[in-house]
Chains A and B, each alone.
Chain A
Amino acid sequence: MIKSALLIGLVRGLRGIGHKSIKGIWRFGAGIRLFWLTLMSSGECFRRFHLIIREVYFTGVMSLIIILVSAFFVGMVLGLQGYHTLQKYGSSEAIGVLVALALVRELGPVVTALLFAGRAGTAITAEIGLMKATEQLSAMEMMAVSPIARVIAPRFWAGVIAMPILAILFSMVGILGGYLLAVPVIGVDAGAFWSQMQANVDWRHDILNGVIKSVVFGVACTMIALFEGYDAPPTAEGVSRATTRTVVTSSLAVLGLDFILTSFMLNV
């Protein structure tokens, strides 16, 4: 009696795992298909460039405040924490190197992508989910306007353009924050701060690799947000769940991709 109940429970559990896996793989495939369709209709979208500019405004320019303010604080915290540890070894001048490398290589692209997923990704998902729920996308198809070329592709390219710019600005403002904390407040020598930074930050291996990372994150975050919106059940609950999933999936994707990219770039 107990044995058969256990068996039924086990089968039910396995069935649940199987169902979830199949659904996950199906959604992944559907996402890749949407990505492919988006790339295919990019030509049409680039011919109407003002659509992309409009979306760059909504995803990029409107995210500037949150990105810049958090960059400033991240830079200052890095400065404080770095100074606290480095002064134990009598090398507090290396604080410039620490702040710059941490921001340019890792924190700039990653924190920007996480904030972008929260600020712009959710907006994209909710907007497209609501467009689907109110049947605007179907109406476009009825008018022989491809919703992928008109709605999805401009938002995708806007995200891909906006993310590296935001990440670069994040690094720059973060370094300024670190400078303002280290030099006037703590009293580290300004010359040592900048010259050590310049001696140790490489243009190609550090700065350009950071930009490449942020482009990859831009593709991932925007595509996940677009897919979740496009795939959302056309109900209020469905849109709300899709918005949550956007943040969770984007964050995990960014952190996972970051590990993969870093291991390739450092070639350990």
Chain B
Amino acid sequence: MDRTTIDLWVGIFVALGVAALLGLAMKVGNLTTNNIGETYTVTANFENIGGLKPRAPVKSAGVVVGRVADITFDTATYEAVVSLSLDKRYPFPKDTFANIYTAGLLGEQYIGLEAGGDEAALVNGDKITQTQDAVVLEKMISQFLYSKASESTDDKSEKSESTKSDADALGSSPLDNIGKPSND
């Protein structure tokens, strides 16, 4: 085959490949949407980060303002040290509050920032002091059960009656509906 025809076809082939890569990057990937330009890094200590992973989003008012860069463990305080790289376009006050939230009931975890009222802004290397840990579902359930149990024992000590009132106190707990046929 003629050399110029081959050149033309290979040119079309390579151009198609480059166009498809650009298409993938723009239309399929997040090169345009989540492009965070220059960043500054701040750290935050948490007692429990739950299932937070590096590259998880950092959101404020629902807008992605940065990403979790790195998660390490501090053996001096036994806390998790999370470094966040935030977009330079979004400065936050020094007394910003960092929470770990969960997207939906079972979704991925992300960090939510709530701006405070301080005049000075966070700069590279600063530390966010006010943090709130991840909500661990098992902990919440066990706390709920514990409080219910202590309520019922309180009832018992107040009334100090027969076992019937005991059963009533237990029966009035919302947990009663779980897997138990009602007595009446």
- Which chain A residues have a beta carbon within 8 Å of chain B's beta carbons? 50, 53-54, 56-57, 60-61, 64, 100, 104, 161-162, 164-166, 168-169, 171-172, 175, 194, 197-199, 201-203, 205-207, 211
Contacts and interface: CB of A to CB of B under 8 A. Distances in A.
Contacts of A205: 55
B6 A172 contact: no
Interface of B is mostly: helix
B64 to A, nearest CB: 10
Given A165-B14, A168-B21, A171-B24, A57 B9 contact: yes
Contacts of A162: 13
B31 interface: yes
A202 B30 contact: yes
B29 A56 contact: no
Contact of A172 (B12, B20, B30, B34): B20
The 3 closest A-B pairs by CB, nearest first: A165-B17, A172-B20, A203-B29
Contacts of A50: 3, 7
A100 B28 CA distance: 7
Contact of B29 (A54, A165, A198): A198
A164 B9 CA distance: 17
Interface residues of B, number: 24
A60 B16 contact: no
B33 A199 contact: yes
Given A172-B20, A194-B27, A61 B3 contact: no
A54 B55 CA distance: 44
A102 to B, nearest CB: 12
A108 B24 CA distance: 12
A61 B23 contact: no
Nearest to B7: A53
Contacts of B34: 199
Interface string B33-58: 11000000000000000000001000
Contacts of B17: 164-166, 168-169
A57 B29 contact: no
B145 interface: no
B123 interface: no
7 contacts: A50-B3, A64-B13, A104-B28, A165-B13, A172-B23, A175-B24, A199-B33
B30 A201 contact: yes
B167 interface: no
B15 to A, nearest CB: 10
Given A54-B6, A203-B25, A60 B13 contact: yes
